[in-house]
Each structure stands twice: as structure tokens, then as C-alpha cells.
Amino acid sequence: MKLLRLIPSLDPAAGGTVEAIRQVSPLLAARGVITTVASLDAPTAPFLAGDGFQAVGLGPGRGVYGYTPGVVPALQCLAAEHQAVVIEGLWQYHAFATWRALRRLGAAAPPYWVYTHGMLDPWFRHTYPLKHLKKWFYWPWADYRVLRDARAVLFTTEQERLLARRSFWLYRARERVAPFGIAPPPADEALQRQAFAAAFPQLVGKPLLLSLARLHEKKGLDQLISALATVAHRHPTLQLMLAGPDGGCLAALRQQAAGLGLADRVHFPGLLQGKLKWGALRHCSLFCLPSHQENFGIAVVEAMACARAVLISTAVNLAVEVEEADAGLVQPDTRAATARALVAWLALPANRQLDLGANARTLFEQRFRLDRSVDGFLQILSE
């Protein structure tokens, strides 16, 4: 089978979806599925190369929406060469342009599926009402049709599926919860730790709270800084690393840390990749993501794969699984609740902290290994 995946950008800074595609494509290839990833990036973008798939840049798109003149005929040609199409995400031109291209192919068009990746969560409606109103103007003639005509709309958790129904009253979709997962961490743990120690020698031997996330207001990272401030005097060596590209909040987070006297204990290394990322996960004492909205949280699963307990909010759609598996701490997405959870974690005996980490690893093995999710995904494509 030849599979075409459409995504706005393959830039690693775009988030977990890009990482998921890079991980899953070699496994699909081993099962006879050849993947082409088409994006609205410029054809010369340096990050288009990838293992296990062919990348095609059809852009660059214009503005935030990514409107790309002439992309529909190009997508027609691409789609005609494939047996299945998957659209990754909504609200950018790649989704509507793919729908248009497939409509033009008519009966010859391959079936297509859509991953919403949390983009129909009602949190966005409540938090950005003006943006939601703007989306309403093109919802009926664009993304509503994309979902309506898909073979199935895929959600990574049951919670995401239920929340999606509450964003727009005009909504029709064949819903499926599709398994999602990641590959196990690379086996060279010693090299990962060495890479991290070489890059951040000031953190070696100190307890570390870690977040791997875009520095955006929805991630609740300000709550982590406030939580650290509440325990800083009792835990003078405790450090916090907020690793991720700037999503508009870097300056405010730096200012907050400095205002609380934590400028030397809150670290902003930018996006960590490869050995540095895995080394950070191996080094940290606790992984934290107190988001106000989180569809899945690939970094949360990566931390659990490294046997690290996680501190997440109830707004992370993995919260039920983490709580049932006793794999970490789950609390509401408020500053007070995040601080209470951190205090509770620091009060746990060391053996109890290790037990939570072991439970997290077990949860990863049982629910979120990539090979399991690949088999489930192929089953959906075959239906």
C-alpha cells in the first residue's frame, strides 16, 4: 500500500505530530506501507528528509493559514498515486486543499482519514472566543466538509473524541479512537546521559523537574515556576528545565522566574532533540506538563517510557490512564493544585517515587508502544 500523509509543516518545532510521523513511517515500511509526507513547506526546507518516508514540500504557504496557490492540482497528482490518504490536523489550508483535490478526482479518489490532534477541543472556544468566531465563518464550507466526507475521523483518546463534539453544533463525522504510541527510547542510555551532562554540567547531581513543550500559554508552565517558588527554600538544589521552542511566552516566563528569585534555577535551553532530549528525560526526577489543554502528550509518553513518573493536569487527555496505572500525579490545571502536587511528590519516600516510575514504564509497555499502535492503525485502514 502507498499512503499519503498531509501536514502543514515537517519542522520539528511544529510539535509532537511531526515526531510521531518520523517514528511510525519506518515501522509502516516494514509492514509494506510506503509513506509519502506532503507539507506546505518550501521544497528546499532542510528538515524534509526523513527515514522511512519520502517528503514533498509543496509550499511555502502564505500566512498562518498556509494558503498555497496551485497546490490543489499538485495534490490531485499525488493522491492519484496512493491508495490511502491521512490528513494531519485542521485549521490550515493543507486539509481543505486535500478535500478539494480528492473531490476533483471523483470516483478515482482514494479514501481518506483525518487526525484532529485535539484541534476540536472546546478549550479553544472558551479561551479564544474571537478566533472561534472567525473559524465559524469558514467552518461550514471548509473543515466541516473535510470531516463529514472522511472515511473516519481519528481521535487518539476517548476523551478527545467526546470533547470534539462540543466545539461546533454543525458537526458530522464517523468517529474512531485510533491507538497512538511511540517507539521505545534508544538503547544507548549511557551516551544519552553523557550528552546531557556535557551540555548542562551545572545540573548534574541535582534533582530536576522537566517539561518538554512549546512555551505557550496553554501548557501551564507558569504554574510550574510558581510551584517551584513554593518549595524553593526547603529544596535549595531543585531545578526546573522548560525545554521547547518559544510559542510566545518565553519572555514572560523568564520575567516570572527572575521576579521570584529563580532566574538561576529555571532553565530555558530551547528545543532538545536526539540524545540531549533522551538524556534530559533520563536525568530528570519528575516530568511535568500541567497543561490547560493537551490532546495526547507525546512527551508524557516518552517520559513514561524512560520510567519517569509524571505530574500532569486533568486537562491532559492521558490523565485517566496515568491515574488508573498509578504512574504519577494528576491535578486540576491551577497554580494552587500544581503546587500541592509538587509538595506531595517531594514528600514521597524515594522508593515510592521509584514505584511510580516503574508503573509509568509498565503503562507505556501495555498501552503506548508504537508497534501496538501501528497494528491498530493498519486495521483501521483495512476496514
- What structural domains does the chain harbor? 2-182+369-382 (3.40.50.2000), 189-367 (3.40.50.2000)
Tell me the three state secondary structure of residue 90: coil
Give the span between the Cα atoms of 364 and 327, in whole angstroms.
10
pLDDT given at position 49: 77
| Predicted local distance difference test score (pLDDT) of residue 178 | 86
pLDDT of residue 287: 98
**pLDDT tens digit sequence for 85-103:** 999 999 999 999 999 999 9
SS3 248: coil
The pLDDT score that the predictor gives to residue 179 is: 74
C-alpha cell belonging to residue 83? 491508495
Q: Is the pTM of this model over 0.85?
A: no
Instruction: Note the pLDDT of residue 271.
Output: 94
pLDDT given for residue 127 in this prediction? 84
Residue 52 has a pLDDT of 83
8 A C-beta contact, residue 98 and residue 87: yes
Residues of the chain with pLDDT under 70: none
| All three cell numbers of 339 | 503546587
Contacts of 350 (CB under 8 A, 6+ apart): none
pLDDT in tens, 162-174: 989 989 999 999 9
152-155, strands of its sheet edge to edge: 53-57, 34-39, 2-7, 84-88, 112-115, 152-155, 175-177
CA–CA gap between residue 85 and residue 7 (Å, rounded): 11
pLDDT for 159: 86
The DSSP letter of residue 111 is: P
Rounded to whole angstroms, the Cα distance separating 254 from 336 reads: 20
Task: Give the model's pLDDT for residue 272.
Answer: 95
| pLDDT the model gives residue 322 | 96
